[in-house]
Each structure stands twice: as C-alpha cells, then as structure tokens.
Amino acid sequence: MIGEILGAVHRLDDWLRGTLGRPYHAALGIGLVLEIIGHIRELHEAMTSAGVVRLALVMLLYLLLLVHQIGELSDHAERRRRRAVRDL
C-alpha cells in the first residue's frame, strides 16, 4: 500500500515537473524559503529548550528540502541546455 502511494506521488511529481517545469521548482523553493524564514522568527521568539530543539530540527528538514529543490532545478536547467545544444 505504501509503495503504491509512493509510486503515485512520484508519478504526480514527474507530471508536475514535466507540465510546469522550472516554475514548479521555483514555487517549491520559494515556499521553502518562506517557511524557513517563518521558523527562524518563531525560533527567535520561543527560546524554550524543547521548543528550540523541535524548531531547529524542522528548520534542518526545510533546509535539506531546499537543497534538494535547488539541485532538481539545476538538473532541469542542465537537461534543457543539453537539449538546446543537441537541437542546434
């Protein structure tokens, strides 16, 4: 069941990437940056030890997702460059 869900989500992601391209990755990246900024503000306001650890872990996750999105966007741009050179 989980494998089917993961497969469906992967196909949806492939479809969105193919249909929307760079704007899809840009929107995801911008959303992650906004979430990171919001959590930094929240971290600054909530300086309790348990809250700080939880927020720091969430921020780390968002940073990793942002790195992944930037990598995906870079791969997409590289594929487009190769395709453009090949079509010349």
Query: CA 16 to CA 86: how far, in whole Å?
Result: 24
pTM of the model: 0.58
pLDDT, one tens digit per residue, over 24-83 is: 888 888 988 898 888 888 777 766 656 777 777 888 888 888 888 888 878 877 888 888
Name the phi and psi angles at 52, rounded to 5. Answer: -65, -45
